[in-house]
Structure 1
Amino acid sequence: MQQPDRQSIVAWLQALQDQICAALETADGTGQFREDHWERPGGGGGRSRVMADGAIIEKGGVGFSAVHGEASEATLRQLNITTKPGEAQPEFFATGVSIVLHPHNPHVPIIHMNVRYFEMSTGQYWFGGGIDLTPHYVVPQQARWFHEQLKQACDRHDPAYYPKFKPWADDYFYIPHRQETRGVGGIFFDYLNETETVSKEAIFAFWQEVGSAFAPIYTHLMALNAHKPYTPDEQRWQGLRRGRYVEFNLAWDRGTKFGLETNGRTESILMSMPPQANWVYDYHPAPNTPEAETLTWLRKGVDWV
């Protein structure tokens, strides 16, 4: 197998975007993605695809980008890269596919997936990504099934991956000011590159597996939940959970910060925002309700498999 380079990685990501959009349109039944091509002033660009008011997906984005240019000091700090005094400012190349989907029905979960690749002119490179699930109402059986699918994808490449990447997701998708996880987690990894025992080709194959796992997992959850009845009270709860999603993305998400700091396209960076979200002052659900039960699951360290 030829070692993956920028061109082959970009081509694979563009094909992944096509495949996922086609699968989501089929599963939704009526929704269609609108595509925008954009260019970044400092170098590169991308294509954003957004679905609005589908039968199941109220708002969803599947974005591809490939950007490059001189790395700012803020970007270097975020990437934990230091330069020596007098050295030329390094350049970066970053490409990836990022997805967030917000459904109409409160019983269909929000989902996020990202697979990305970075290169620096200093010679460093790494792969990163992950998938995490944010149900408005946690259904333990579905959360277990979701984690089982991710564990199987990991185990096909290295049995050590899931035990390592699941806690990483718990730590990353955590809202410190709320002391709760964003949802039921998933897997998250970053800074993966070749070692003496793992080749770049092997890491690339695992990274592809993660990206390819997304559509079958989410379309199954769509089919399972999209036709369940729901009440106005459940919709109000959905709005509050969407509010938590916004808080995490704007206050803590590194991808959002990276995009804004590198002068990415604002509309594409913020396409992860829900169409509506609510905040109610000092809200607490009534005891022994499905809403209160959901909050008990939003913690680190749940052993789903």
Structure 2
Amino acid sequence: MTKEQIADQFKALQNTITQTLETADAKAKFKEDTWNREGGGGGRSRIIANGNIIEKGGVNFSAVHGRLPQKIKSKLKIECDDFFATGVSLIMHPENPHVPIVHMNVRYFELTDGNYWFGGGIDLTPIYIDKKEAADFHQALKLICDKHHPEFYSKFKTWADDYFFLTHRNETRGVGGIFFDHLNESTGLSKNEIFNFVIEIGQLFAPLYAKIMTKNAKKSYNAQEKDWQLHRRGRYVEFNLLQDKGTRFGIDTNGRAESILVSMPPEVKWTYQYEIEANSPEDKTIKLLKKGINWIEYS
């Protein structure tokens, strides 16, 4: 499978995802912004806002190439100068605090010396954690992982717990999901087999999240729940700006700032020493923001 074929499949995935989300929201439509990267390549940024359910979201496709900056070469411990990278990344910030934030990305990276790898992940960030919903989310991921490799779910679930972890807050970003990187033949799978796994994870997203959206969107909420949502969005911003490697890679390779930072929520709050009432719904959620929880046991 060539890099061009992989990019075409990712572009088709973007189409499927945006169509499904538009149907689920039933109001807002994605607006497309096509762009070119000065160093080589470009992409399509699709933005949705002010919908029935989605307050702000973005589904980005990119296929870029060019010279690797020295800082990236040093981080990746590679000598090759030229790269090709393509993928789909998305983030959805719902209006209703009972609809979780969601993130997903699938990507492919190739060097001109023949080395390549796939990466990606999907994770759920509820404002209020519903254990059964978290269990169903993880079970859906596990089914696809198990189909392709018996060790994928356990390994990638742990990887997500470790990656989506705010070290300065000592808490996970949400209920996690899976995260993987540098997948190649070292997994024991062929390039086509790895791609099939990656694209199935991408294809899982839209129906899985659309179900969660429609289930929770009609729930009523009060001012306190909205205030809590805005503070939890603050944690999302902290992670993306301080720790997320994808954000850093995009900036370091002179990526398009508007597309990279589309992950930022439309409104957010930080309050000095924000107080949480003991045994409140907010307190119960905070106490579940831990690594190593076997969410599937709550199914």
- TM-score interval (norm. to shorter): over 0.9
Provide the TM-score with structure 2 as the length reference.
0.97
The gaps in structure 2 that reach 5 residues or longer are none
How far residue 150 of structure 1 moved from its aligned partner, in angstroms, is 0.4
Match for residue 82 of structure 1?
78
User: Following the alignment from structure 1 to structure 2, what is the Cα–Cα distance between the partners of residues 52 and 35?
Assistant: 12
Deviations 1:110-169 (A, max 9, x none): 000000000012221000001000000001010011000000111111121001100000
Question: What is the SS of the residue equivalent to 1:195?
Answer: helix
Counterpart in the other structure of 1:48: 45
**Aligned mate of 2:168, from 153, 171, 177:** 177
Find 1:188's aligned residue among 179, 190, 209: 179
- CA apart distance, 1:273: 0.3
Match for residue 98 of structure 2 among 94, 98, 107: 107
Alignment RMSD, CA only?
A: 0.9
Aligned to 2:30: 33
- In the alignment of these two chains, the number of paired residues is 296
Percent identity over the alignment is 56
- Aligned-pair CA distance for 1:58: 0.1
- The AA in structure 2 aligned to 1:22 is Q
1:82 offset after TM fit, Å?
3.4
| 1:1-305 mapped onto 2 (5 Å cutoff) | 4-78=1-75, 80-83=76-79, 90-195=81-186, 197-305=188-296
Aligned-residue offset at 1:201: 1.1
Describe the shift of the 1:196–1:151 C-alpha distance in structure 2 as closer, same or farther (beyond 3 A). Answer: closer
**Structure 1 runs (4+) greater than 4 angstroms displaced:** none
| Per-residue Cα deviation, 1:10-67 (whole angstroms, up to 9, x for no partner) | 1100100000000000000001001000111000110000001011000000000001
Q: TM-score, normalised by structure 1?
A: 0.95
Paired residue for 1:86? none
Contact map agreement 1:48 1:63 (CA 8 A) in 2: yes
* Aligned-partner Cα distance in 2 for 1:140–1:195: 35
Structure 1: distance between partners of 2:9 and 2:2 = 11
Shift of 1:196: 8.0
- Quick check: 1:90–1:122 contact (8 Å CA) kept in 2? no
AA aligned opposite 1:146: F
Gaps of 5+ in 1: 84-88
